[in-house]
Each structure stands twice: as structure tokens, then as C-alpha cells.
Amino acid sequence: MREPKKLHVALFPWLAFGHIIPFFELAKHIAQRGHKISFISTPRNIQRLPKIPSNLAPRINLVSLPLPTVDHLPQDAEATSDLPSQKIPYLKIAYDGLEGPFLQFLKTSSPDWIICDFAQHWLPPIAANLGISLAFFSILSAWSVSFFGSSSSAMIKGEDPRSQPEDFTVIPEWIPFPSKVAFKLHEAKRLFQAWKEDSDVSFSGVFRIGSVLAGCDVIAVRSCNEIEAEFLRLVGEFHGKPCLPIGLLPPDDLDATCSEEDDTWLTTREWLDKQNKGSVVYIAFGSEAELSQPELNELAFGLELSGLPFFWVLRKGDNSVKLPDGFKDRVKGRGMVCTSWAPQLRILGHESVGGFLTHCGYGSVIEALYSGLALIMLPINIIDQGLIARVFGEKKVGVEVTRDESDGSFIKESVAESLRLVMVEKEGEEYRNNAKEMRKVFADKDLHDRYLDHFVEFLQNH
């Protein structure tokens, strides 16, 4: 019997670390199965990647394409985390400027497959002309892809029947089964504002993803049937092509980027070791969530009011927001605030941590449920975090902090109530138990490996 073909696969993510890291994980998994990888990004992002495991290094080639200079884009800004949100449309213009260099790479390297992101609306015709197969890897779940558009053609032409923010607060008519996937009004208003800012400067995100969905050969989704079989089926039907879950890409080890001897981890672990089992709430909003000063104040006062021990990773690109006066003194002993990088996976896996107050970034939710932790959910960004919060709220593994429907504001009392409910109260037992139960899916390495095997086989056979 003939040996299956060894592939050359090029992966080209959007310039955001919430995209780059899952793409990098996928690259490692494909390389593990014996295939050659070209991982493409800009020089600064390539430098910021985690170290490639030594056994995979011979099969993974990191390709740097210098980012073109664009008006309004600061020097050295090569990822969304380097910029305030209103400047991101200019990063998309610079990214579109990589079309020529990427075409040059394809002509000289001839990969068998390109795995691309949502942003490269110009890529499908190039791949087709060169006879290279194209996979779209969605780091968004299938429920989010379904919510944003019923078909590729409607997305490209901007034919969404929803023209007002209110229209996004109900389940779209094309989702034929019961679901709670919809925005709150304040989220829909912010989404409309962001879309306007985006389309004033660049192609809209919906046009971009519609173009990629229309022109790709297969849709790969960071997901699994155990979580959203109906939505995965629906995405394939909408877009008329195979839609393959590749599993959740759960972490391989507790944190490859952090050794047991790492100073930050030693200090953190020493503090966590002194706390009671399951008593600590961990708080982190990723590297890009932008909290306003009033939001930061209410969050801090809510933590104070809850009386719970907490570990808060407060990474702010924007230093204009600061903790309320006297906050650190008042919570001394029971609360830790860390303003640098923290080994999130190790913290989530520590036995003293009992819950996670999160912005509902998909990667963070996966990491929390990998450790069996219940969620206290405070979606911040507009794209899909609200939808993620609805889904996991419906699955009863966490609760959302109550916000004002019209403007999205929240108060310290609702923060404290949600924290206490999930962490210590009798009624919260259901959430704690369900999160532990869900860990069986999220931490099942064999299950997720089978999805990856199936996906790589598909690439080999097509």
C-alpha cells in the first residue's frame, strides 16, 4: 500500500495573538504528524512566538514578511495588541499590503495547502490561479460564524437583513433550532460603531470573512461535535463545503512557556499554596481588553465587596487607567494584583483556584474548562465574547455579571453577587459541578487528537 503523501502546509494568520497562537498550535500538530510547515507572519510577531519544541523544529519554517508602512499606523505596530482598537483598521490596510510578498512566497515555495484566516479577502483567487488548495481556519466557534452570516454570498454583498442594532439581539431566522446565541443591546450598539469605523477605512470584517468562506475548499473550526454539532453542520450547509471541527487545541502541558523554576510562577505558587482549596477567584482579561476607568473601579470595588481571595492579572497596554486609591492596602493579604505576564495555565490548574472571572475570549474559556473551573463572565470586546458568554451560560458552567442593557455599565454589587454565587453559595454548586463535568470533554487529549488526525487525513486526501 502506498504511503500517504507528506504535505507542505503554509499557515498565515491575522495579526492578533488570539489568532496567531491557535494557528501556531495547529501548525505544531500538523508537523507532529510528519508534514512540513511554513508559518508566515511579520518579523516582530515571529520573534514573539513561543519556542518551537526541538523535535518539531526541523519541520517548521518561520517566514517573515515585512509589514508595509501605512499612514496612521505607528512604527513597530505589527499586532492588534500594539494598538488602541480604533487604529486596527489601519493594520488591516497594512496586512492587505502583504498580498504581493505572499504571492511571491507561494510561487517560490509551492505549498500543497494554505491555511488562512478571515482577513485575506484577496487570497482565494490567488490560490485558485496557482492550483493551491485553501482551508479557512476559524478561531471563532461555529455558533459565531453562523450568527454573523447565513451564506458567503450574503456576507460579501452586505445583504444581511439586519440593519439596526436591535436586530442583533434576537436569534437569526436562519438558525433553525433553539439557541440563546444573540447580542445584548449594548454589545450590538458597540458592534455597529466598530463596523462603521472599520468600513470607513478598510474592507469590513464581514466582507473579508465572506470572501474567504466563498473561496476556500474547506472550513476548519476550533471546536468539536461534543459542544456544537448542530452549528458545525449548519456552517457546512450555509457555505456549501465541508466544515471540519479540528478539536479545541487544549494545552499540551500546563504551560510550555513557563518552567517550574520561573520566578513569577514561584512567587505566585507560594501565595496560592497558602490559600484554601477552591477558594481563590482568578481574574484576567487577556492582553487586549480595554476597560474604562469607571469599569475598572466597579470591578475593583466588587472584588473588595465579595470578601473572596483573588489573583488579578491586570495587563494594561493603556496606562491611563489605574486602580482606585487605597485598593491594594484594603485587600492586602487576600488579594494579589499582577501587572506583568502570568503563567495562566499553571494558575488555573492550582488546587486553590475555584473560579475564573473572564472577558470570555474563546482561548481563555477553553483553558478554564480544561481545568474544570466555573466561569464568572464579563464580556468586554464586541466580536464574539458576548455570544460565547450566552453559550456557556446556557450550558450552566457560569454566570454573567449583570449589566445595564442600554449602555453596558455594571456596578460593584453585581460583580460581588456573581462572584459569591459561583464561588461559595449553595445555588452555585450546579455551575461548579457542570464545569468539572465539562472538563471531561475539554481535557480529553485523545478526543482532540482524533479530530486533528481526521483533519490532516482530509488535507492528504484532497
Domain ranges of the chain: 8-250+445-461, 263-442
Domains 8-250+445-461 and 263-442 share a fold: yes
What is the pLDDT averaged over residues 97-106? 98
pLDDT bin (cut points 50, 70, 90) of residue 252 is confident
Whole-angstrom Cα distance, residue 345 to residue 348?
5
- Which of the two residues, 151 and 277, has the higher pLDDT score? 277
Asked whether 142 and 228 are in contact (CB, 8 A), the reply is yes
Cross-strand pairs, 12: 116
Q: Is the pLDDT of residue 258 over 60?
A: no
The CATH classification number of 263-442 equals 3.40.50.2000
**Residue 288's pLDDT band (cuts 50, 70, 90):** confident
Least confident stretch, 54-68, 276-290, 293-307: 276-290
Report the pLDDT value the prediction gives residue 158, as an integer from 0 to 100. 85
Under 8 Å CB-to-CB from 15, ≥6 apart: which residues? Answer: 41, 42, 45, 67, 78, 79, 80, 91, 95
Q: What is the dihedral of CA 353, 449, 365, 381, to 10 degrees?
A: 150
How does pLDDT run across 190-203, given as a tens digit for each residue?
988 888 888 888 88
Average the pLDDT over 393-407 and give the result. Answer: 95
DSSP state of 257: T
Q: Is the pLDDT at 396 greater than 60, yes or no?
A: yes
pTM: 0.95
DSSP string, 426-456: GGGHHHHHHHHHHHHHHT-HHHHHHHHHHHH
Quick one: pLDDT band at residue 255, thresholds 50, 70, 90? Answer: very low
Place of cell 482565494: 124
Beta bridge partners of 281: 310, 355
According to the model, what pLDDT value does residue 108 have? 97
Residue 19 pLDDT > 90, yes or no?
yes
pLDDT at residue 68 above 90?
Answer: yes
Phi and psi torsions of 64, nearest 5°: -95, 125
Q: What is the C-alpha to C-alpha distance for residues 212 and 125, in angstroms, rounded to an integer?
A: 10
SS3 449: helix
Q: 8-250+445-461 has which fold?
A: Rossmann fold (3.40.50)
pLDDT of 253 > 70? The answer is no
pLDDT, tens digit, for every residue of 318-332? 566 789 999 999 999
